Amino acid sequence: MRGNHLRKTLLTALLLAPATLWMVVFLVLPFVAIAVFSVGERAPEGGYQAAFTLAQYANLPARATAFWNTMVLAPAGALACLLVAYPVAYYLALRAPERWRLILLALVVIPFWTSLLMRTYAWMYVLGGRGIPALLAYVGIEDIRLINTPGAVLLGIVYGYLPLMILPIYVSLERLDRRLLEASADLGATPVATFLGVTLRLSLPGVMTGFSLVMILLLGEYLIPTLLGGGKVFFIGNALVDLFLQSRNWPFGSAIAITLVLVSVVVLIAANRISTRLSGARRVDLI
Partner 1 sequence: MRAFVVAVFAFLYLPIGLVVLFSFNAGRHASEFTGFSVQWYGKALSNPFLVEALKNSLFIATTSALLAALCGTAAALGLQRVGARTRAVFDGLLGAAIVVPGVVIGISTLVALVQLFGVLNPFLASLWPSDQPPRLALGYGSIIAAHGLFSMALVAMIVGTRLGSLDRNLVEASSDLYATPLTTFRSIVLPQIMPAVIAGFLLAFTFSFDDFIVAFFVAGAQTTLPIYVFASIRRGVTPEINAIATIVLVASVLLVVLAQWQLRQRKPSH
Site for partner 1, residues 20 to 49, rule: CB under 8 A: 20, 22-23, 25-34, 37
If one asks whether residue 151 binds partner 1 (CB under 8 A), the answer comes out as: no
Q: Is 41 in a helix, a strand, or coil?
A: strand
Which part of the chain contacts partner 1 (CB under 8 A), choosing from 116-124, 167-175, 192-200, 271-279? 116-124
Which part of the chain contacts partner 1 (CB under 8 A), choosing from 49-57, 58-66, 124-132, 173-181? 124-132
Which part of the chain contacts partner 1 (CB under 8 A), choosing from 54-62, 167-175, 213-221, 275-283? 213-221
- What does the per-residue mask of binding to partner 1 show for 166-205, with x meaning CB under 8 A? ----------------------------------------
Cβ distance 95 to 173 under 8 Å?
A: no
Binder to partner 1 among 79, 222, 274, 278 (CB under 8 A)? 222
In the complex, the smallest distance separating the C-beta of residue 243 from partner 1, rounded to whole angstroms, is 9
In the complex, the smallest distance separating the C-beta of residue 239 from partner 1, rounded to whole angstroms, is 10
If one asks whether residue 221 binds partner 1 (CB under 8 A), the answer comes out as: yes
Distance from C-alpha of 152 to C-alpha of 37, rounded to nearest angstrom = 35
In the complex, the smallest distance separating the C-beta of residue 126 from partner 1, rounded to whole angstroms, is 5
Nearer to partner 1, 52 or 113 (CB): 113
If one asks whether residue 250 binds partner 1 (CB under 8 A), the answer comes out as: yes
Distance from C-alpha of 227 to C-alpha of 117, rounded to nearest angstrom = 9
Binder to partner 1 among 10, 54, 58, 122 (CB under 8 A)? 122
Identity of the residue numbered 217: L
Q: Is 163 in a helix, a strand, or coil?
A: helix
Ranges of H-type helices in the chain: 2-23, 29-38, 55-58, 64-90, 98-112, 116-127, 132-138, 150-174, 178-186, 191-194, 201-219, 223-229, 236-241, 250-278
Which part of the chain contacts partner 1 (CB under 8 A), choosing from 59-67, 101-109, 186-194, 277-285? 101-109
- CA dist 227 to 129, 136, 147, 169, 244, Å? 14, 22, 9, 29, 19
Q: Is 103 in a helix, a strand, or coil?
A: helix
If one asks whether residue 128 binds partner 1 (CB under 8 A), the answer comes out as: yes
Length of the chain counted residue by residue: 287
If one asks whether residue 233 binds partner 1 (CB under 8 A), the answer comes out as: no
The secondary element (H helix, E strand) that includes residue 48 is strand 48-49
Count residues near partner 1 (CB under 8 A): 81
Binder to partner 1 among 10, 15, 50, 183 (CB under 8 A)? 15
Residue 235, number of CB atoms within 10 A of its CB: 27
Distance from C-alpha of 173 to C-alpha of 209, rounded to nearest angstrom = 13
Binder to partner 1 among 217, 242, 272, 276 (CB under 8 A)? 217
